[in-house]
Amino acid sequence: MDRIVQTLVDAVSVGGLYALTALGIGLIFGVMRLINFAHGELIMIAGYAILLMFGLPIWLVAVGALGAALLLALAIERAAFRPIREADPATLLISSFAVSFFLQKTMILFVGSRPKGVDFLPGLAQQIQLAGIRLQLLQIVTIVVSAVLLVGLTWFLKTTRLGLEMRAAAENFRMAQVLGVRANRVIATAFAISSVLAAVVACLFVAQTGLVQPRMGLQLVVIAFVGTVIGGLGCLPGAALGGFLVGAATILLQTLLPPDLRVFREAFVFVAVALVLLFRPQGIIPARGLKERI
Amino acid sequence: MNSDGHTPARTAAAFSGPELLRRLWPLLCLVAIIVLIGIFAELAPTVVQRRITQGLIYLVAVVGLYVFVGNSGVLAFGNVAFMAIGAYVSALLTMSAGAKGIFLPDLPAWLQTAEWAPLAAAGAGGGIAAIVAFVVGYPLMRLSGISAGIATFAILVVTYVVIGNWSSVTGGQNSLMGLPIYVGPWTAVIGALVAVGIAFAYQESRSALLLRASREDEAAAAASGVNVVRHRLAAFVIGAFLSGVSGVLLAHFLGTVRVETFYLDLTFLIIAMLVIGGMGSLTGAVAGAVVIAALTELLRQAEVGVTIGGVSLAAPGGLGDVVLALLMLLIILFRPKGIAGGKEIPWPFRR
Amino acid sequence: MIVAETTTEPLLDLRNIEVRYGAITALRGVDLHVKTGEIVAIVGPNGAGKTSLLSAVAGLVKPVSGSISLSGKSLAPVGLEDIVRHGIALVPEGRNIFASLTVEENLQLGATSRRDSEVNTDIGRFFSTFPILGERRNQPAGLLSGGEQQMLAIARALLSRPKLLMLDEPSLGLAPKIVEQVYVELEKIRDDGITILVVEQNAARAFAVADRAYIMSHGQFALSGTPADLRDNAGFDAAYFGVSMDSESRDGA
């Protein structure tokens, strides 16, 4: 019983991290049809901000991580994506691939590719007793933070003016512009929100692994990216759900698969992706009225 | 449709000889360039010779990627997977029984004892890559745009995970060593010539012409009875064969194979070469490979550093990768059709 | 031009507009003017270039040559997002309402360009005129019927308080009764002082409300004048019906 609950909590907390990452990717895809590989580097830069500011008060470190991710997000939007906004999705994809590589390799150039240890939020490593079951505090915190962010983002999108403009732009960007919605404002907001998500993921992920390295974002993004596809590109609840499912599935596969097959779990996940693309090309929750132009 | 813009029908019969020459002109130029590179390698010091050989092997891979991406207009991230398949197949077929006994004690008996001739093993490497491409491509070639990009990315990841963990056959994360090293500059030149020849012959074919028509407007091509999926699959399989061959060459150039070689970094390098050269033409694919290989080598020299009067100056390690990524970004931003601009080398004389 | 009164400066003035999509020329040297308070109709068969014309004014495509000005001021430097801020609102073909957003959210978006505090009052007024939409204000707009979506799209455009309202095929795909309602609404809008430029295949319906009309074919205006003049003009059938005999023109005949 204990083990089942522990595994489930583990699956939910990992699922939460991937859901947040998938949301960051899904948000950008929604407004500009760009699959942002470089989202991983937003997580990475926030991780290094944590490393750099380690020892300062925790809130200050968190603000630093956020600031670093935000600056980088706005910079890449301005420098790399804005000039080719009208390009086809395939070109955008290649471009984000290049941005991601550029940032990763630049980081390796300056700090080397070795992981660096950082004991961030050690207080969360302790075990707690909850209804007689021993659980790690960090996992509970991860679940709670993910849930709060999901609710917060939903609130933002549903009730604020900017949120409304973002949803309109995601459905039909040209029509939104005809009505006077500012493309730059909407896209910058999407990047800003995705950087907040990235910074939070970085904090939780670094606390969990205790390591920072130039490629840390890659694994998260690749899996989350799969989640966005499975959930339905262009649909935020779908992205969150897909990210959650894929994240949780990797943990469950890890526990449930026989040991010889365990190492192949990522292969299973990606075969699943190909199958989803073939049989449900719109994802689990298809986006309504995906239109590129008037 | 295509950029080479020749109109054979309009030329008088008397000019049929020159007309053929004109038609083959882009290929002849590329052949000349590759042969010149081979001659240059012959004269260069050993280290540079090795770099040129490696560059030519990448050229084969870039041409393999071009055959699919350039003709179909569909993005693909999975060609390095076919390189891996080619490399491993050829490695397993050519390694000495003794070496296999050490690295792969659990191999099935027939494979354990197999010691094929290099050329046969190379054919098998490319062939099996092509067969795998046919099997996975058959369902996946229906996809286009982003979905196709993701699906081919899935091919890359699945291949990587399977090779990296199928320890009894591939050695898993460990390197396989002791492959016969038969690839030198001239072998690579021959490989590159074969690749360019196949790619050119393919792109002049009817199937490729129809495929390029579908690139302009998929719906219209399908409506006029073009079986887009079939032509796309043909390009995918040919591209996979060439990628497989380049994997074989790389394996027998290095003398060792390691799964880590065939993943994101190499994928990025090959895509970057094609994007920078221009994915719209064979000339672009070749130009991208040559220019980037040369540039990477220059940067590597810079990283090693020069010593002037007892003071050694060296660029920081890893600069090459940064420059490559930056260059690719700049090309996408400012010259989206790449160095070659999507064109083949034009006929230099007035008609 | 048959109507030669150009003493008052036109609200909208197009001179020699040429629009191309790649190798295809959609508009070849079009001149058009719309005066304040008019309803001007542009009719013509499919592919004549009507939508391209509205797109050029709305900033959706950049003409390769020619000039567009509003109240004498050139719109060339005005970006797509700012056209509405200069007082031009577009109801595009196929309406393009945001299907996943609610009726009310669609209307809120219509007021994106406004900074005043009367937006909610205006929305309330619209809901009292169209109680069916008021009842469904919190439902996704995609669930509305075609006619309701058309009314919503018009209301959304009006919420920017435009000087000029442009409509692309407002009757497309609607039952005759609904088309009637839409056109009655357009006349009311004109009476409120808003100038209207409407593109239609349904020539008869558009002629019934228009002060002036242009007949377009192959990217050019073949004829122009008051609807009455045009009906009497022998060239009309050749310019319009001669080119394409479609269901809508039969409906109208």
Determine the distance in angstroms separating the CA of A119 from the nearest CA of chain B, rounded to an integer. Answer: 28
Contact criterion met (CB below 8 Å) for A222 and A45:
no
Which range is least confidently modeled, A20-34, A57-71, A270-284? A270-284
Report the largest interatomic distance among the alpha carbons of chain A, rounded to a whole angstrom: 59
Contact B143 A281 (CB under 8 A): yes
What is the share, in percent, of chain C residues with pLDDT greater than 70? 89
| Residue A31 sits at the chain C interface (C-beta within 8 Å) | no
> Which of A90, A225, A266 faces B145 most closely, judged by CB atoms?
A90
Interface probe for B, chosen from A86, A92, A101 (most Cβ of B below 10 Å), is A101
Is the pLDDT at C244 greater than 70, yes or no? Answer: no
**Segment B274-292 mean pLDDT:** 94
Domain boundary assignment for chain B: 15-263
Is A171 at the interface with chain C, CB within 8 A?
yes
pLDDT at A83: 92
The reported pLDDT for the residue numbered B349 is 79
Q: What is the largest CA-CA distance in chain C?
A: 53
Q: Which of A180, A183, A294 sits opposite C92 (nearest CB)?
A: A294
Q: How close does chain A come to B314, measured CA to CA in Å?
A: 13
Cβ neighbours, 10 Å, residue B256: 16
C58 and A176 within 8 Å at the Cβ level: the answer is: no
Chain A residues closer than 8 Å to C105 by CB:
164, 167-168
- B5 pLDDT more than 70: no
| pLDDT greater than 60 at residue B12 | no
Contact B158 A94 (CB under 8 A): no
Question: Does residue B8 have a pLDDT over 60?
Answer: no
Which residues in chain C touch residue A288, judged by CB atoms under 8 angstroms apart? 99-100, 140, 142
Question: Measured between beta carbons, which residues in chain A are less than 8 angstroms from residue C140?
Answer: 288
* Separation in Å, CA of A234 to nearest CA in chain C: 12
pLDDT band at B13 (very low <50, low <70, confident <90, very high): very low
pLDDT in tens, C230-240: 877 766 666 66
Task: Kindly report the nearest CA distance between residue A175 and chain B, in angstroms.
Answer: 23
Residue A291 touches partner C, C-beta closer than 8 Å = yes
Chains that touch A (3 or more CB pairs under 8 A): B, C
Nearest to C105 among A164, A180, A291 (CB): A164
Residue of B nearest to A107 (CA): B322
Residue among B74, B143, B157 minimizing CB distance to A277: B143
Considering only residues A102 and A134, tell me which one the structure prediction assigns the higher pLDDT: A102
A281: which 2 tokens?
């090309």
- Inspect the interface and report whether the beta carbons of A109 and B140 lie closer than 8 Å: no
Is B142 in the A-facing interface, judged by CB distances under 8 Å? yes
Using CB atoms, pick whichever of B142, B271, B326 lies closest to residue A102: B326
Q: Is chain B adjacent to chain A, meaning 3+ CB pairs within 8 angstroms?
A: yes
Per-residue H/E/C for chain C: CCCCCCCCCCCEEEEEEEEEECCEEEEEEEEEEECCCCEEEEECCCCCCHHHHHHHHHCCCCCCEEEEEECCEECCCCCHHHCHHHCEEEECCCCCCCCCCEHHHHHHHHCCCCCCCCHHHHHHHHHHHCHHHHHCCCCEHHHCCHHHHHHHHHHHHHCCCCCEEEEECCCCCCCHHHHHHHHHHHHHHHHCCCEEEEEECCHHHHHHHCCEEEEEECCEEEEEECHHHHHHCCHHHHHCCCCCCCHHHHHHC
- Euclidean distance between CA atoms C194 and C212, whole angstroms: 15
The confidence band for B95, taking pLDDT boundaries of 50, 70 and 90, is very high
> Which of B174, B270, B322, B324 would best serve as a mutation to test chain A binding (most A beta carbons within 10 A)?
B322
Provide the pLDDT for residue C160.
Answer: 95
Q: What is the pLDDT of residue C2?
A: 46
% of chain B exceeding 90 in pLDDT: 59
Chain C residues contacting A via beta carbons under 8 Å: 55, 58-60, 80-85, 90, 92-94, 96, 98-101, 105, 108-110, 112-113, 140, 142, 156, 160
Distance CA B330, CA B327 (A): 5
Q: Note whether A270 contacts B321, CB cutoff 8 Å.
A: no
Is the pLDDT assigned to residue A73 strictly greater than 60? Answer: yes
- Do chains B and C touch by CB distance (3+ pairs < 8 Å)? no
Residue A290 has pLDDT above 60, yes or no: no
Cβ pair B145:A89 closer than 8 A: yes
- Evaluate whether A147 touches A240 at the Cβ level (below 8 Å): no
Binary contact (A289, C99; C-beta < 8 A): yes
Contact predicate C197/C40, CB 8 Å: yes
pLDDT in tens, B45-91: 998 999 999 999 999 999 999 999 999 988 899 999 999 999 999 99
A278: nearest CA in chain B?
B140
Chain C residues with beta carbon closer than 8 angstroms to that of A171 = 98-101
- Interface touch C160/A180, C-beta < 8 Å: yes
Which chain C residues are within 8 Å of A31, Cβ to Cβ?
none
CB A239 within 8 A of CB A227: yes
Residues of B in Cβ contact (< 8 Å) with A106: 322, 325
Residues of C within 8 A of A178 (CB-CB) are 58-60, 80, 83-84, 90, 92
- What is the DSSP code (8-state) at residue A172? B
Looking at residue B256, its pLDDT comes to 94
Q: CB-CB: which of B75, B151, B322 is closest to A105?
A: B322
Mean residue pLDDT of chain B comes to 88
The 10s digit of each residue's pLDDT in C1-28 is 444 444 567 899 999 999 998 888 899 9
Minimum distance, in Å, between the CA of residue A218 and any CA atom of chain C: 33
Global pTM value: 0.86
Cross-chain CB nearest to A180 (options C94, C113, C140): C113
Tell me if chain C has a CB within 8 Å of the CB of A164. Answer: yes
| Per-residue pLDDT, C113 | 92
User: What long-range pairs does A182-186 form, CB within 8 A, spacing at least 24?
Assistant: A182/C81, A183/A85, A183/C81, A184/A82, A186/A31, A186/A162
Band (pLDDT 50/70/90 cuts) for residue C245 is very low
pLDDT tens for B132-190 read: 999 999 999 988 777 888 889 999 999 999 999 998 889 888 899 989 999 999 999 99
- Check residue A287 and give its pLDDT: 54
Residues A118-155 pLDDT 10s: 988 888 878 888 777 778 899 899 999 999 999 999 99
Point out the residue among A91, A106, A267 whose CB comes nearest to the CB of B158.
Answer: A267
Best mutation site among B74, B159, B332 for testing chain A: the one with the most A CBs within 10 Å?
A: B332
> Does residue B147 belong to the interface with chain A, where contact is any CB pair within 8 Å?
yes
* Interface mutation target, options C55, C61, C100, C172, chain A, most CBs of A under 10 Å: C100
